[in-house]
Structure 1
Amino acid sequence: MLPLGLLTAAQGNPILVELKSGETINGHLVNCDTYMNLTLKEVVTTSADGKHFFRLSETYIRGNNIKFLRVPDETIDRAKDQQQSQQAARGGRGGMQQRGDHGGRGGDRGRDEIIQPTAKSGRRRLVEDQNLRDKDTLALYGVLRRTATLGVTKLVEELVELLIKDRREKPSESPELYHALIEANANHEHGSAGRVVTLLEEMQREGLEPSDRTCDAILKVLAVHPDYVLRAAVLEHLRVLWADLPADAHRNVVVGMLRDRQYEMALDRLDSMQSAGIRVEPWLWDMAIYVLCEADEIDEALALLKKRDALAELSYEPSVWAYVLDTASRAFHYNATLYVWRKRVEPGYLNPASGLCLNVLCTAARAGDPVLATDVFRVLGNRATVFEHQHYEMLIDTYLATDDVKTAISILSVMEGAKMAPDAATTRNLFKHLRADASRPHAALAVLQSLHEAGKPVPVAAVNVVLEALVHLMDLAGALDVYKTLHTLCARGPTVATFNALLRGCSSDASEADADEPLDADAADQDLTSDKKATAMFLAAEMRALAVAPDAVTYDRLILVCLRAPDCEDALRYYAEMRSRGWLPRPGTFAAVVKRLARDADFERAAEVLAQARDAGLELARTERWLEQVLWRRRRRDEAAEAGAGAGAEGEGRLAGFVRERLGARALGRGM
């Protein structure tokens, strides 16, 4: 993975991106954020098999989907030059480049470069505070080494100044001075990679080569102040020297790569450390896991967590496990969530927060793991959590994912017993599951009966969902049989949702198939059988006897049922009663009423109903066109007839005028 510095320099230049899916994307880089999310323009995308090409004006690529990037060599060179110049400009205190004469090599020029003013006028110097001026030169070097290791930048600078000015030490003959100044830049507040670059350039002018020890110090600095270019140069220098890195240097390289977002290279370095028998400290494992989780590289974080867990001698940091569980569950990463839960939560080492448990429950529901979901309920129950509908719904979804309808329905019974009655929203996914197979509703009814026999409460919503599934499967007789057992199973009795589900089975499939469109002529001419209307009237009488208040859906479905009968007066009566309650039929029901009246030659009332639909803001254009055709055919017959027009013709004329007015206004609007 390329560093952000190179991508910043590559903006406006061509770039090639290969995704983890195998696709390749060529385009010009427009923007890159700190997460390496890229925006490209003038894009050509090649499929993984190389057979398909797509051209896009612009595309956005998430950084965690990128496998590798390729930029032109001149862009890399330009980025290196820009980065080094910027670092040199930020050098400030601690650098060796000074104003003044930079004459020949060595001598006073070297002393001038390495000396920095370290204190403002009137400020006491650290050298005097610690009585270091009277120490001999050898002792000062010892203090310098210890101070540089600790990263006390200011004191290191003063000691170097003291050694050069007072003790006449020459930087060209004492690489220890450069080494100390370089190592002191490991200070997170006062150090910088730019100062290290400046010091290395001065060493080169002095004819000094960085030793293995100095290279280790540079890697230590780069672990705090990442610089991809400098790190690569140091590692190449050590490779040329055939020098082996000490363990601390390996760790510093990994830390620097992680901070530079070079995750794959950092993981490869960790693997090579383990292969070489170099101990990976617990803090380094933890840091890598934290960084990978933060970058949404959860698969890699899980692999690293398993490696760390396999090393039994390492101590565990609870916060690491909690962070992985939180990150994985929020991303619905099942494998990582399950691993941490089993390793830390089940044994009792980790007690996750309730919000985190809810994320785990969502993950279990998506993956269909009822064991994990049930254990989440155990943890929440131990802390006396008040469960809500969302908790139970996710648990139901989990069991449905494994085809365990019995347990899913049992959860509905638990909700009823907990005074948290399930509703239609709670049973939606159960309805989808039951309607997928004709045998499932009957199996669900058997489960409800067994619950009743065991003395457990049966919620009416559970019976209703069985009714809905049977009606959906066109088994009205089976749904009525279930209704007969409902009074036995449920102490509360049926609800309006129960009757609405049954009335849907009595109404025409054509009308229910698309409520926003009027019926076709062939479907509208089919009368509903007398037993279906009788069933609907029986259900309406049951609602009155049980004092179950109807709603708008009840009236809508009663209207549709009665429209199929030879006499539609009952439908019109229900329509008038519905309007008196302030409710409106659905657009499809309005259309069905108008069409039935028109077929009965009741144009007066057809015009009134269509006008009411218009006043309610409903658009019934298809119905209007159909009526226009009916009226045109009737006019043709009337023109051939010798008799005068009666009341029906007057109503026909009113309706024709109304329809023509609507169609004319719409045509005029289109013309404008």
Structure 2
Amino acid sequence: MKRERVKPDLTIYNSLLACIAEEGLPLEAWAVIDDMIAVGILPDRQSYHHVLHASRWSPLEATWETLEKMVDRGVPPNEQTYALIIKRITTTEGVELALQFMHEMAKRGFTSDLTATQDVIKLAAHLNFPRLAIDIAQNFEAHSVRRIDSEAWISCLVSSAELFYADGVQKCWEKAIHEMNLTPDEGTCIAVLHTCARHGLADLATDVIRVLRSIGVDWQEHHFAPLLEAFARVGKLKEAFGTLHLLRSNGIVPLPETTQPITDILKGDVDAVDGVWKILDELRDEGHTIDAAAINTVIEASIALGDLQRAVGAYKAFREYASKPDVETFNHLLQGCINTCHRELGDKLLLDLKQANVRPNALTYERTILLCLTQPTYEDAFFYLEEMKAQKIVPPLRVYDAIIRTCVVAGDSRYSLALAELEQCGYTLSRGLIRFVAANRSSS
């Protein structure tokens, strides 16, 4: 064109700048600007926007230099200028600076660009500022006919859930799932469930369980544990016990940790323990199967309250509810026997365990051994230790610790054998045990 003396116009130059900007070539963009000025064509606002876009991968100083050039040339920034600047800032995770420019836009009467706003929202959520992200999103939608996209709202939901921000989780779940009909993934649902458990959001947790089923996720124990905790935290024990029935009906075996929130509530008040039977009676009359885990919470709470008699009474109630005790039932009761040194009851429980065809686990053997060690004659502790090893169960360190301490105090030389076995199992002697053996062995 120049060779044929055809003078390029502003449109031609801006087209060249657009091409260069797309490739991210700031030096070439400034060369075109210089050429424009040399032939007497003044760059307009769009020209400088192309330069800003071309500098998106350059240090942030290049953006400020372009802004200064615009001001020097008498080209004031507009909404698009600010949008390009904010988008550039968000790539460096400068959320405070981005907010500063958004505030400056508002002072000048400009409406924030949707894309730039969404970038700031997602950045704030990524940097663990969910409250800020949600406030920006709600403020934008309150003053604009346009709406924040689904990705930004899901980012706010995930960020809120990861920080257990209950208010944010509730707002974002309602917005994303119910208003926008979005489908969260399983990871997001689990994070929301954890927040529900922490803050007792039972209704929301129930809705999350529904969504999990709707997206084709097979229900698992770790899905229901937060739901049960949410019920327990707000005192909805009937719903919590009903959840145990729901687990079992879906082929899920409740773990001891699953029912721990219920136990934590019950063991704080004897009246709460007694009130459980009314709830269980109601559930039974409504046709629900009373799970063994439900009665186990009463037993464990009674043991924690130091009431072994109440715990045994709960154990005898299994037949009334057409339920059967499991290994956790006997483990809780054995702990009560240890606390009261009641070896006779422990022996009866072990007999019941065998008659019920319940397979003892490592904790059963451990507590049986510890119960034997509470007696003046503790020979059976070694018998159960050998039986434990015969079942291919490695005795835990605390078993050896208790055996060694008992033998040392009694002057029983078999403590040295226990010490040798302890080391063979790969355990390390604690300083406290070393000092105890040294102090008591000499006195014995």
For structure 1, the 5+ residue unaligned runs are 1-126, 153-182, 510-527, 599-605, 631-672
- Are 1:594 and 2:401 an aligned pair? no
Q: State which drifts further: 275-284 or 388-397.
A: 275-284
Q: CA deviation at 1:185?
A: 7.3
How many residue pairs get aligned? The number is: 427
Q: CA deviation at 1:391?
A: 0.3
Whether the 8 Å CA contact 1:258–1:288 is kept in 2: the answer is yes
Aligned to 2:153, the other structure's residue is in SS state helix
Aligned to 2:317, the other structure's residue is in SS state helix
- Are 1:497 and 2:331 an aligned pair? no
Q: Which of these residues, 47, 66, 74, is aligned with residue 217 of structure 1?
A: 47
Aligned to 1:338: 170
Q: CA deviation at 1:415?
A: 0.7
Q: CA deviation at 1:610?
A: 1.9
Q: CA deviation at 1:484?
A: 1.3
- Are 1:627 and 2:436 an aligned pair? no
Aligned to 2:389, the other structure's residue is in SS state coil
Aligned to 2:284, the other structure's residue is in SS state helix
Q: CA deviation at 1:397?
A: 2.5
In structure 2, relative to structure 1, the CA distance for the partners of 1:237 and 1:406 (3 Å cut) is same
Whether the 8 Å CA contact 2:245–2:289 is kept in 1: the answer is yes
**Counterpart code for 2:383:** A
Compute the RMSD of aligned alpha carbons. 3.6
Aligned to 1:385, the other structure's residue is in SS state coil
- Are 1:229 and 2:61 an aligned pair? yes
Q: Per-residue displacement from partner, 1:347-391 (whole Å, max 9, x unpaired)?
A: 352122333323322333334322221111121223443100110
Q: Which of these residues, 562, 567, 576, is aligned with residue 383 of structure 2?
A: 576
Give matches, 1:257-276, under 5 Å.
257-276=89-108
CA separation in 2, counterparts of 1:216 and 1:348? 35
Aligned to 2:318, the other structure's residue is in SS state helix
Aligned to 2:97, the other structure's residue is in SS state helix
Aligned to 2:134: 302
In structure 2, relative to structure 1, the CA distance for the partners of 1:580 and 1:412 (3 Å cut) is closer
TM-score normalized with structure 2 length? 0.81
Aligned to 1:355: 187
Whether the 8 Å CA contact 2:55–2:63 is kept in 1: the answer is no
Q: State which drifts further: 416-425 or 615-624.
A: 615-624
CA separation in 2, counterparts of 1:254 and 1:556? 63
Aligned to 1:615: 420
CA separation in 2, counterparts of 1:190 and 1:284? 19
TM-score normalized with structure 1 length? 0.56
In structure 2, relative to structure 1, the CA distance for the partners of 1:223 and 1:270 (3 Å cut) is farther
Q: CA deviation at 1:244?
A: 3.9
Q: CA deviation at 1:304?
A: 1.9
Q: Per-residue displacement from partner, 1:252-279 (whole Å, max 9, x unpaired)?
A: 3333333454433332332333444333
CA separation in 2, counterparts of 1:556 and 1:251? 66
Give matches, 1:188-267, under 5 Å.
188-189=22-23, 191-192=25-26, 194-195=27-28, 213-214=43-44, 217-226=47-56, 227-236=59-68, 244-267=76-99
Q: CA deviation at 1:470?
A: 1.2
Aligned to 2:356: 546
Aligned to 1:507: 338
Q: Which of these residues, 174, 192, 197, is aligned with residue 365 of structure 1?
A: 197
Aligned to 1:603: none
In structure 2, relative to structure 1, the CA distance for the partners of 1:239 and 1:350 (3 Å cut) is same
Q: CA deviation at 1:334?
A: 4.1
Q: CA deviation at 1:236?
A: 4.8
Whether the 8 Å CA contact 1:251–1:284 is kept in 2: the answer is yes
CA separation in 2, counterparts of 1:184 and 1:421? 63
Q: State which drifts further: 278-287 or 480-489.
A: 278-287
Aligned to 1:254, the other structure's residue is in SS state helix
**Counterpart code for 2:318:** L
Q: Which of these residues, 381, 386, 400, is aligned with residue 232 of structure 2?
A: 400
In structure 2, relative to structure 1, the CA distance for the partners of 1:251 and 1:384 (3 Å cut) is closer
Aligned to 1:221, the other structure's residue is in SS state helix
Whether the 8 Å CA contact 1:399–1:405 is kept in 2: the answer is yes
Aligned to 1:187, the other structure's residue is in SS state helix
CA separation in 2, counterparts of 1:247 and 1:577? 79
In structure 2, relative to structure 1, the CA distance for the partners of 1:185 and 1:384 (3 Å cut) is closer
CA separation in 1, counterparts of 2:408 and 2:80? 87
Whether the 8 Å CA contact 1:474–1:505 is kept in 2: the answer is yes
Q: CA deviation at 1:496?
A: 2.7
In structure 2, relative to structure 1, the CA distance for the partners of 1:610 and 1:306 (3 Å cut) is same
- Are 1:321 and 2:153 an aligned pair? yes
CA separation in 1, counterparts of 2:362 and 2:189? 40
In structure 2, relative to structure 1, the CA distance for the partners of 1:591 and 1:378 (3 Å cut) is same
Q: CA deviation at 1:589?
A: 3.4
Q: Which of these residues, 411, 430, 439, is aligned with residue 262 of structure 2?
A: 430
Whether the 8 Å CA contact 2:403–2:418 is kept in 1: the answer is yes
Aligned to 1:616, the other structure's residue is in SS state helix
**Counterpart code for 1:498:** T
CA separation in 1, counterparts of 2:405 and 2:359? 25
Aligned to 1:507, the other structure's residue is in SS state helix
Aligned to 2:110: 278
Aligned to 1:582, the other structure's residue is in SS state helix
Q: Per-residue displacement from partner, 1:44-90 (whole Å, max 9, x unpaired)?
A: xxxxxxxxxxxxxxxxxxxxxxxxxxxxxxxxxxxxxxxxxxxxxxx
Whether the 8 Å CA contact 2:48–2:70 is kept in 1: the answer is no
Aligned to 1:389: 221
Q: Per-residue displacement from partner, 1:308-337 (whole Å, max 9, x unpaired)?
A: 222452155334334443454455554443
Aligned to 1:458, the other structure's residue is in SS state coil
Q: Per-residue displacement from partner, 1:122-157 (whole Å, max 9, x unpaired)?
A: xxxxx6xxxx976x74xx43xx4223323x3xxxxx
- Are 1:380 and 2:212 an aligned pair? yes
CA separation in 2, counterparts of 1:244 and 1:415? 64
Aligned to 1:447: 279
In structure 2, relative to structure 1, the CA distance for the partners of 1:350 and 1:540 (3 Å cut) is closer
In structure 2, relative to structure 1, the CA distance for the partners of 1:147 and 1:461 (3 Å cut) is same
Q: Per-residue displacement from partner, 1:431-465 (whole Å, max 9, x unpaired)?
A: 33433444443334443333223221122122223
Whether the 8 Å CA contact 1:289–1:304 is kept in 2: the answer is yes
User: Higher helix share goes to which structure?
Assistant: 2
